[in-house]
Amino acid sequence: MSKKPKILVVNDDGITAPGIKALIEVAMEIGEVTVVAPDSPQSGMGHAITIGKPLRLDKVNLYEGVEMYKCSGTPVDCVKLAVNKIFKGQKPDLCISGINHGLNNSINVIYSGTMSAAVEGAIESIPSIGFSLDDFSWEANFESCKKYIKQICLETLKNGLQQGVLLNVNFPNDSAPIKGIKICRQANAKWAEEFDERTDPHKRSYYWLTGVFQNNDKGEDSDVWALNNHYVSVVPVQFDMTAHHAISNISSWNFDV
Confidence band, pLDDT 50/70/90 cuts, at residue 83: very high
Sheet holding 57-60, edge to edge: 57-60, 67-71, 32-38, 6-10, 94-101, 128-133, 165-171, 232-238, 181-183
Give the C-alpha separation, 57 to 234, whole Å: 32
* 89 vs 183, higher pLDDT: 183
Mean pLDDT confidence for 226-234: 96
Q: What pLDDT shows up at residue 114?
A: 96
How much is the pLDDT for 73?
Answer: 93
Residue 64 has pLDDT above 90, yes or no: no
Residue 5's H or E segment, with its range, is none
- Pairing mode, if any, of strands 67-71 and 165-171? unpaired
According to CATH, the topology of domain 6-188+219-251 is Stationary-phase Survival Protein Sure Homolog; Chain: A, (3.40.1210)
* DSSP element (H, E) containing 58: strand 57-60
Instruction: Decide if pLDDT at 7 tops 70.
Output: yes
Backbone φ and ψ for 189, nearest 5 degrees, come out as -145, 155
Inform me whether the pLDDT recorded for 194 exceeds 90: no
pLDDT of 175 above 50: yes
Residue-level pLDDT at 215: 84
- How many other C-beta atoms can be found within 10 angstroms of the C-beta atom of residue 215? 15
Cis? peptide before 20, omega within 30° of 0: no
Q: Is the pLDDT of residue 214 over 60?
A: yes
Mean pLDDT on 173-187: 93
The more confidently predicted of residues 43 and 102 is 102
Most confident of 61-65, 150-154, 196-200, 209-213: 150-154
Q: Is the dihedral of CA 185, 122, 69, 113 positive or negative?
A: negative
Q: Which segments of 83-172 does DSSP mark as H helices, in order?
A: 108-111, 113-123, 146-159
| Distance, CA of 26 to CA of 187 (rounded, Å) | 28
What's the whole-number mean pLDDT along residues 193-215? 87
Share the mean pLDDT of the chain: 93
The pLDDT assigned to 2 comes to 55
pLDDT band at 70 (very low <50, low <70, confident <90, very high): very high
Give the model's pLDDT for residue 1: 37
Q: Where are the domains of the chain?
A: 6-188+219-251
Q: Give the list of residues 6+ apart from residue 23 with CB closer than 8 angstroms, or none.
A: 9, 11, 96, 98, 99, 131, 149
Residue 191 has pLDDT above 80, yes or no: no
Dump pLDDT digits (tens) for 29-43. 999 999 999 998 788
